[in-house]
Structure 1
Amino acid sequence: MAKNREEEEQQQHRKVALTEEEEEEEELEEKLGSSLTLERVAAAKKLIEDHYKSHMKLIQDRKQRRSLLERKLEGSGVPKEEQMNLLKELERKETEYIRLKRHKISVDDFELLTIIGRGAFGEVRLCRDKVSKNIYAMKKLKKAEMLSRGQVEHVRAERNLLAEVASHFIVKLFYSFQDADYLYLVMEYLPGGDMMTLLMREETLTETVARFYIAQSVLAIESIHKHNYIHRDIKPDNLLLDKNGHMRLSDFGLCKPLDCSNLSPINENEVIDGEQEGSANKWNSSLKQLQHWQINRRKLAFSTVGTPDYIAPEVLLKKGYGVECDWWSLGAIMYEMLVGYPPFYSEDPITTCRKIVHWRNHIKFPEEARLTPEAKDLICKLLCDAESRLGCRGAEQIKAHPWFKDIKWDKLYNMEAAYKPEVNDALDTQNFMKFDEANQAPAKNSSGPNRKKHLIPEDLSFVGYTYKNFEAVKGLRHSSGDSAVDFSGKCSIDDNEMLVLAASADTVTL
């Protein structure tokens, strides 16, 4: 009986693989036309390899999910009949997942709602699945912009990281797909807003609140570093809050990286304006600097130009960098949380870059900020040379700092958050900036029957972009960030075990 069921499962998986292969081949045909090119041959070869890996992984993941649930139920005290019901429920979800894998997902599957982010490459919009009614955040990126600005590797890395890393420190990805003009990432919606909006509202945070969010940021950064990924663009905009106030790392900014090519003449020994000993500070007081930053910060929120305030000096100088550049960014964010503005803020980004490169001359703590010695020490040990920066030998260095002495690292996401945002319902967007939609051209739907067009071979960069998460199956877990579902009321799967289940989604490697 078990053997027949396994054979039936393998047949179903083969059908899924064939369906997705046909889908990808159709896209290749549309993009490349009838001409036989080396690019097409290479893409077809990679497509076959990816589908073979995907097919094997799908079978392995299904077995792993069942085995995990069986181990959880063993010795749990749950009656045998209830155990059978739980296993049947899992089988039902597996069947739904296979149906989902066969379905060619498109933007038409979602009801598009409020814009919650916009930048040079596209936008982030609240959306609702038309079938499951689940609420998500849909990130829409222009392919042409990705290609022309050399961001293909960046968008690949982001998609791969979100698909591969199952962690409650990082925003969860449910789907990724594409049409002729756009790439789409459908992620969980975190209605608490981002740290940028919170700082604009509060101006500064107490050390207690700041300590909580810096500690959660340490865990999030550590988790991506363990997967050999460097963020490089950590800033308050990318620290998102769920409805309970817990922080997750993302990349919703969509702002283009700052072009620092004109900074090449800068060297670390150069003297710039305002650095001479005894020279007057342009800002007469930290209050005026804070007021100017608050005004300019609102403008930057609507700008498509990146801000360099949190970028490490070695990145600006193009000297080569490692994971330690993310710890510099965290130090800059911590300073802003406690003081009210970034440590190297200037009226124009080029001056900010110069200040960052000459950081030794510009790190100052205003007396009115009243930082504790431990807070100042941690900031100074993060905003320093890369080779001596705290965290360069692992996150444990930072966790051991005296400023974090009362932090229980293993319970940080199970305790009540230091700040709880106001969230009225699943569609509440009050914690995000308001974006005007009046001047936006209507979205061009290129997912329908008239989407066929011949694109340049470079578009092959996005072959294999499709991803569907097992957790997207309705009922397993909702997109609002709630904890794992208790199937029986007697036997629940905890977060760590659910992460194993979630990690078993079928990922096609780009």
Structure 2
Amino acid sequence: MASQESTLDNYTVLGRLGVQHLAKVKKVQCRSTGTIYAAKIFRDRISEVYARNEINTLEQLTGENIVIVRQMVLLGTYTKKSGSQYPCSYIIMEPLPNGDLFKFLSSIGPQRPEMTRFLFREVLKALETIHISGFSYGGLKLENFYIDSNFHIKLTDFSRTSPIDLESHINTQSKYSPPEAFLGQVSSGQAADIFSAGVILFLIQTSQFPFYSSKPLDLFYSQLIKNPRVFWDMQKKNHINIKLSEDFKNLIEIMLCFEPKIRANLDEIKAHEWMKGPIADYNEFQQEVCKIKPWENYVKKNIIRNRFNNQNSGGNYEFQYNTSGQK
């Protein structure tokens, strides 16, 4: 029988929030309490494998920078407005109304070092929680860090986690991925997380990715691993108004090492000289977030894209806007 609303068991579906790995994220409301949540919905058998993995991980994770989960269901039912139904797995999470860090940073541009340290410390806190709990994240990226209603930064999407002591092939290939992901080499997931965190640090500071990919033949990454001075000279052309300190450059270099075994670990990163500089606080961060549009209006009007501009002439990835709503 047709209905005016879609439902997810005891929740009313209010709208679409986005997509995470093999899952749709929707805004839902509990029928009994009226409380608003975000629901991550896994529909098919392939995604169910990731749902089980994420649920298993979340059962063992707690931390101030980890998304709060209210309910996890492996055998649920989604009912469409037409009345048709399909089985699904889903995770009910706290709403994160202020959007993700990628879109936040794309709207305000490069950060001053004090704010970069604040944001990067939040990233490290989440990553440390995962590693201490015995997992590597797998596929760490800025888009999976969200800002909650109290302006705290929360990490989401744990569908690709694996035991921290497991060395295996890295299946994720993206602009955040380490070189071993492209070379098909067996590697530590912990070292891969460190590499991805290094890309995130560079992205926060400059609003650009450091390279197209970490393939050894990439124009930028090949220079970073062979001749860092040339790499930074190339980057200087892209960041005319951004001064990158020598300490910052050194931290990037030891996090983005080609060899996984010699990359900096979390303790070395936290003790690094660059991390000891002045740092912004939550009040300053809140003020920055409040400068941009509320998330629900923002997501309808802006589609953020990445573009690699003219690689051969020294261009680089940067945030791009599409306010027309066209993909």
Q: TM-score, normalised by structure 1?
A: 0.47
Within the candidate set 358, 374, 378, 2:247 is matched to 374
Write out per-residue CA displacement over residues 176-209 of structure 1, whole angstroms, 9 at most, x where no aligned residue. Answer: 1123532111111111211110122123222111
Whether the 8 Å contact between 1:209 and 1:419 is mirrored in structure 2 is no
Q: Deviations over 1:301-331 (max 9, x none)?
A: xxxxx86100111233232222121111010
Alignment counterpart, residue 68 of structure 2, candidates 152, 163, 172: 172
Name the structure 2 match of 1:490.
none
Relative to structure 1, the CA distance from residue 406 to residue 316 in structure 2 (aligned partners, 3 Å threshold; closer, same or farther) is same
Deviation per CA, 1:330-376: give whole Å up to 9, x if none. 10011112222211227xxxx96853984525863322231111111
Structure 1 residue ranges, 4+ long, deviating more than 3 angstroms after superposition: 351-354, 356-359, 414-417, 430-436
1:407 is displaced (CA, Å) by: 6.9
Question: In the aligned structure 2, how far is the partner of 1:119 from the partner of 1:435?
Answer: 18
Tell me how far 1:131 sits from its aligned partner.
1.2
In the alignment, is the contact (CA less than 8 A) between 1:244 and 1:417 conserved in 2? no
1:201 equivalent in structure 2: 107
Mapped to 2, the partners of 1:430 and 1:307 lie a distance apart of: 31
Describe the shift of the 1:139–1:402 C-alpha distance in structure 2 as closer, same or farther (beyond 3 A).
Answer: same
1:99 maps to: none
Q: Does 1:390 align with 2:264?
A: yes
1:264-283 correspondence to structure 2 within 5 Å: none
Equivalent residue for 2:53, pick from 148, 157, 161: 157
Following the alignment from structure 2 to structure 1, what is the Cα–Cα distance between the partners of residues 227 and 24? 35
Q: Distance in 2 between matches of 1:132 and 1:175?
A: 14
Q: Distance in 1 between matches of 2:302 and 2:60?
A: 31
Q: Which has the higher strand share?
A: 2
How big is the shift at 1:236? 1.0
Query: When the two structures are aligned, how many residues end up with a matched partner?
Result: 264
Asked if 1 retains the 8 angstrom alpha-carbon contact of 2:179 and 2:215, the reply is: no
Which amino acid in structure 1 is aligned with residue 261 of structure 2? Answer: E
5+ residue gaps, structure 1, are: 1-105, 256-263, 265-305, 437-510
Cα distance in 2 for residues equivalent to 1:131 and 1:387 = 52
Aligned AA (1:376): K
Match of 1:326 among 165, 170, 193: 193
**Amino acid in the other structure paired with 1:399:** K
How do 1:46-445 residues align onto structure 2 when only pairs under 5 Å count? 107-118=8-19, 121-146=22-47, 152=49, 154-177=50-73, 178-179=75-76, 181-251=87-157, 308-322=174-188, 323-345=190-212, 354-355=217-218, 358=222, 360-361=225-226, 364-365=231-232, 366-367=235-236, 368=240, 369-384=242-257, 385-391=259-265, 395-406=266-277, 415-416=282-283, 418-420=285-287, 421-422=289-290, 429-430=296-297, 432=299
Between the two proteins, what is the percent identity of the paired residues? 24
Secondary structure of the residue aligned to 1:311 is coil
Whole-Å Cα distance in 1 between the matches of residues 136 and 32 of structure 2?
36
Equivalent-residue separation in structure 2 for 1:120 and 1:239 (angstroms): 14
What amino acid sits opposite 2:246 in the alignment?
P
Give the conservation status (yes or no) of the 8 Å contact 2:211–2:221.
no
Higher helix share: 1
Give the alignment's TM-score, normalised by structure 2: 0.70
Distance in 2 separating the partners of 1:345 and 1:405: 30
Contact persistence 2:182–2:215 (CA under 8 A): no
1:192 and 1:244 in contact (8 A); partners too: no
Instruction: Output the aligned Cα RMSD.
Output: 3.3
Distance in structure 1 (CA, Å) of the matches to 2:150 and 2:274 = 24
1:119 Cα shift?
A: 5.5
How far the C-alpha of 1:415 sits from its partner, in A, is: 4.9
Other structure's SS at 1:113 match: strand
Secondary structure, aligned partner of 1:164: coil
**Change in 2 beyond 3 A, CA 1:333/1:186:** same
Q: Report if aligned partners of 1:194, 1:241 keep a CA contact under 8 Å in 2.
A: yes
The letter for the 1-side match of 2:211 is: F
Structure 1 pair 159/126, CA: closer, same or farther in 2 (3 Å)?
same
Give 1:383 shift. 0.5
Q: Is the 8 A contact 1:232 1:311 kept in 2?
A: no
Distance 2:198 2:12 in 1: 39
For residues 230 and 381 of structure 1, the distance between their equivalents in structure 2, rounded to whole angstroms, comes to: 19
**In 2: Cα distance, 1:139 partner to 1:406 partner:** 38
Give distance in 1, aligned partners of 2:174 and 2:33: 40
- Cα gap change, 1:236 to 1:381, in 2 (>3 Å): same
Describe the shift of the 1:433–1:225 C-alpha distance in structure 2 as closer, same or farther (beyond 3 A): farther
Shift of 1:428: 5.8
SS at match of 2:296: coil
Aligned partners of 2:135, 2:43: CA distance in 1, in Å?
23
Distance 1:353 1:138 in 2: 39
